[in-house]
Structure 1
Amino acid sequence: GLPVIETPVSYFNDSLVEVMKQNGRGTKGHIGFAVNDIDAAEKWFAERGLEVNEESRVLLPDGGTKLVYFKREFAGFAVHLCRE
């Protein structure tokens, strides 16, 4: 019952589910987590041994991070953080 929003690369079911039109990162695809504070989330994960892939970082016009992937995959899925 959630609305479907189409973008050039994906279909979103509200903000809960994204279905890619084409293969993206990851052997089996990717999983994204929207967070309020990407800097704090990166620090939290780094303290637990997870590194981000700096080459994947997408910046906003204000210089803040919009999206960044981790270096490793989990069960074949690339995982990224994105700003809400």
Structure 2
Amino acid sequence: MKNSFELAHVGINNGDADEAQRLCDLLCLMFNLDARAGKKSEFAGTFFECVRSHYLGTHGHIGMATADLASAVEELSGKGFGFDDATAAFFDDGRLQNIYLAGEFGGFAIHVMQK
């Protein structure tokens, strides 16, 4: 089965919380977005996640959403892509919520998430 994917957000690594906040404020001003604080990040709208530290990926990460994450993981595995099982997050009912692909792509980590 071919799954469809859509860009959910771009995560940008920052040195610390102040740097992440400054970048978030700038992106919100630039593109007329609303800011929202997350657990580990500042969000500029739904497009940009300004991570408060250096997380996965040299530059950050790209979040891709899909309607059927279990099927998408199966499809990507069949294409030869691996996953970093340590990054898997689950919903309360045990279904996979998101997981990072193994490695980097153009300096970015990629995670796929349930839409």
TM-score, length basis structure 2:
0.64
The correspondence for 2:102, drawn from 67, 71, 75, is 71
2:111 matched residue in structure 1: 80
Change (3 A) 1:43 1:25: same
1:25 equivalent in structure 2: 56
1:2 CA displacement: 2.3
Counterpart in 2 of 1:14? Answer: 45
Residues 16-35 of structure 1: CA distance to partner in whole angstroms, max 9, x if unpaired?
Answer: 22111111112222111122
The size of the alignment, in residue pairs, is 84
Shift of 1:80: 0.6
**Is the radius of gyration larger for structure 1 or structure 2?**
2
Structure 2 residue aligned with 1:57: 88
RMSD, matched Cα:
1.5
The residue aligned with 2:68 is 37
Amino acid of the structure 2 residue aligned with 1:38:
L
* Structure 2 unmatched ranges of 5 or more: 1-31
- What stretches of structure 1 of length at least 5 have no aligned partner? none
What is the TM-score with the length of structure 1 in the denominator?
Answer: 0.84
Q: Does 1:46 align with 2:94?
A: no
